[in-house]
């Protein structure tokens, strides 16, 4: 019987926060994911729930050290990605660690687990062993998240609209608030980037004056 192991990327591992070790499971992660979790837990751009999940995961991974495998990223792994003309990012570095696992354990079935649509598309070039996790939505799920940002955070966010910072599903959106609690923008995640919907006026040293569109930002 072929042994099967799961290889989690960062976004899928975050979905396992709080129950990762509830049942025995032989899984694999990369050193890049550990670095990302460390960055997430103190990030000013991340949702509080995501930061809590990162802290919880790091605690559980430390407590259960030895019950899973960590693949330490090496620069030589990048060749698998760059030779196909893909950009080398943290996501593709994680994928390169997965590909190294496939090489190291040819007698096993290593399944790449990711809920990142862009990364999933890239991974399909290399393997068909890809799965996503089901995401539970709370009873009071609204379809949007409210995110408060400083001017500097807005600058970082708007210069990287293709990074799904808050792990939204396609069609979900965020309401961007300034530090005074005013809703200044509304954006929808379309699977590739955050797309502008309507927004209220605000002044920013990054963008100057943005004029309002009438209507309720929550609709």
Q: Select from 131, 156, 191 the last residue of a domain.
A: 131
Say which CATH number the domain at 123 has: 3.40.50.1010
Residue 194 counted as domain residue: yes
Residue 176 counted as domain residue: yes
pLDDT digits (tens, 9 = 90+) for 128-186: 999 988 765 555 555 678 888 888 778 888 888 888 877 777 677 788 888 777 888 88
Q: Select from 101, 131, 161 the last residue of a domain.
A: 131
* CA angle in degrees (0–180, nearest 5) for 117-119-123: 115
**Could you tell me the residue range of the domain that residue 157 belongs to?**
144-210
User: What integer pLDDT is reported at residue 138 of this predicted model?
Assistant: 52
What is the count of structural domains for the chain?
2
Q: Give the dihedral sign, CA 150/156/159/160.
A: negative
User: Taking the CB of residue 120, how many other CB atoms lie within 10 A of it?
Assistant: 17
Residue 215 counted as domain residue: no
At residue 75, the 3 state secondary structure works out as helix
pLDDT digits (tens, 9 = 90+) for 131-146: 988 765 555 555 678 8
Tell me the C-alpha distance between 145 and 50, whole Å. Answer: 12
Say which CATH number the domain at 154 has: 2.30.130
User: What integer pLDDT is reported at residue 198 of this predicted model?
Assistant: 53
pTM of the model: 0.64
pLDDT tier at 187, thresholds 50, 70, 90: confident
Residue 217 counted as domain residue: no
Question: Which strands, in side-by-side order, build the sheet including 4-8?
Answer: 69-71, 27-30, 4-8, 109-113, 130-131
User: What integer pLDDT is reported at residue 161 of this predicted model?
Assistant: 83
User: What integer pLDDT is reported at residue 204 of this predicted model?
Assistant: 47
CA distances from 182 to 157, 173, 175 (A): 17, 17, 10
Residue 188 counted as domain residue: yes
Answer for the pair 159, 183: CB distance below 8 angstroms, yes or no: no
Same domain, 111 and 197: no
User: What integer pLDDT is reported at residue 195 of this predicted model?
Assistant: 83
Work out the average pLDDT over 37-60: 89
Tell me the C-alpha distance between 122 and 120, whole Å. Answer: 5
Tell me the C-alpha distance between 40 and 58, whole Å. Answer: 11
User: What integer pLDDT is reported at residue 38 of this predicted model?
Assistant: 94
What percent of the chain has a predicted confidence (pLDDT) above 70?
A: 85
């Amino acid at each position: 019987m072929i042994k099967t192991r799961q290889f989690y990327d960062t976004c899928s591992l975050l979905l396992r926060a709080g129950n990762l070790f509830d049942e025995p499971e032989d899984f694999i992660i990369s050193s890049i994911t550990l670095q990302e979790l460390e960055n997430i837990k103190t990030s000013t751009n991340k949702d509080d729930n995501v930061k809590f999940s990162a802290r919880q995961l790091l605690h559980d991974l430390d407590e259960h050290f030895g019950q899973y495998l960590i693949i330490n990223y090496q620069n030589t792994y990048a060749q698998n990605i760059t030779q196909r003309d893909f950009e080398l990012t943290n996501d593709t570095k994680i994928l390169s660690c997965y590909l190294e696992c496939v090489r190291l354990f040819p007698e096993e079935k290593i399944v790449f687990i990711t809920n990142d649509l862009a990364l999933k598309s890239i991974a399909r070039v290399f393997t068909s062993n890809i799965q996503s996790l089901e995401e539970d939505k709370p009873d009071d799920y609204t379809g949007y998240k409210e995110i408060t940002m400083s001017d500097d955070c807005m600058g970082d966010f708007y210069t990287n609209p293709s990074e799904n910072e808050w792990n939204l599903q396609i069609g979900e959106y965020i309401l961007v608030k300034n530090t005074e609690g005013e809703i200044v923008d509304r954006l929808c995640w379309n699977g590739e980037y955050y797309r502008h919907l309507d927004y209220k006026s605000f002044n920013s040293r990054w963008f100057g004056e943005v004029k309002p569109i009438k209507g309720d930002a929550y609709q």
